[in-house]
Structures are given as structure tokens and as C-alpha cells.
């Protein structure tokens, strides 16, 4: 069995020592392959994060739509009930609308003071979470 030299990858068959040009070419090819692999890995990680974020946004949108629909139906029922109590449907809807605005204002104040930062932090943590 022939003895293999440790630098055979970097030398031409008819030479004894390593060829620096060939060595640099191999190193350059390896660096390019590594760069391409890192680029593909980064793309894969970014698309995974985007997929998670898309799924979370879709879930929040569907749940939000269901909650808003239920809330609106509740306020319509409240308006009709108040209208029957006051014997005036228009006044019942006006009162229900006022209650709706009051609840919205309270939510807005709570959102600005407490919830906004917590929701932002939860989204950031969800994006950067390791499974």
C-alpha cells in the first residue's frame, strides 16, 4: 500500500510539496460552501420564525374576530333589552352604544398603561423562543 502524504489534496500528482495556489483554491471553495450553507440556514431560520409569527397572527385574528362578533351581538341584545325596558328601541341602542364606548375607553386606558408592553414582550419572546 502506498504511503499517503497529508497534503495530497493540495498538491498536483507530479509534485512533491503542496501547491499554494491549489491550497488557496481549496480553502476558497470551502469558504464559499460554508457561506452558502450559512445563508441557507439563515433563510430556513427566518422562514421558520415567519411561519410561527404568521400562525400566531392568524390565531389572534380569528380569536379576535370571534370575540368582537360575540361582543357586538351581546351589545345588540343589550340594546334591544334596554329598548324594551324604556319602551323606545332608539334610546336602548343609544344607551348600549354609550356603554360600548365606555367599555372601549376603559380598555384603551388599560391598554396604554399596562397591556401594550406585556403584549409586545410576549410577541418578541414568541419570535425568539427556542423549541
pLDDT at residue 125 in the model: 81
For residue 71, tell me if it sits in a domain: yes
For residue 64, tell me if it sits in a domain: yes
Q: Residue 31: pLDDT above 80?
A: yes
For residue 15, tell me if it sits in a domain: no
For residue 5, tell me if it sits in a domain: no
pLDDT tens string 50-79:
888 888 889 999 999 999 999 999 999 999
What is the rounded average pLDDT for all residues in the chain? 84
C-alpha angle 64-114-56 in degrees, rounded to nearest 5: 35
For residue 26, tell me if it sits in a domain: no
Grid coordinates belonging to 5: 502524504
Give mean pLDDT, residues 24-33: 89
Q: Residue 90: pLDDT above 90?
A: yes
For residue 101, tell me if it sits in a domain: yes
Write out the residue range of the structural domain in which residue 121 sits: 47-127
Q: Please give the tally of structural domains in the chain.
A: 1
**How far apart, in whole angstroms, are the C-alpha atoms of residue 131 and residue 129?**
6
Amino acid at each position: 500500500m502506498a504511503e499517503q502524504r497529508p497534503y495530497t489534496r493540495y498538491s498536483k500528482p507530479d509534485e512533491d510539496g503542496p501547491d499554494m495556489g491549489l491550497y488557496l483554491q481549496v480553502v476558497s471553495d470551502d469558504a464559499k460552501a460554508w457561506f452558502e450553507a450559512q445563508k441557507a440556514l439563515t433563510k430556513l431560520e427566518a422562514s421558520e420564525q415567519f411561519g410561527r409569527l404568521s400562525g400566531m397572527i392568524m390565531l389572534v385574528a380569528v380569536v379576535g374576530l370571534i370575540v368582537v362578533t360575540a361582543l357586538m351581538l351581546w351589545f345588540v341584545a343589550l340594546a334591544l333589552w334596554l329598548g324594551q325596558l324604556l319602551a323606545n328601541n332608539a334610546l336602548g341602542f343609544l344607551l348600549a352604544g354609550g356603554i360600548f364606548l365606555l367599555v372601549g375607553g376603559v380598555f384603551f386606558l388599560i391598554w396604554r398603561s399596562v397591556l401594550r408592553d406585556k403584549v409586545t414582550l410576549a410577541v418578541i419572546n414568541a419570535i425568539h423562543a427556542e423549541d
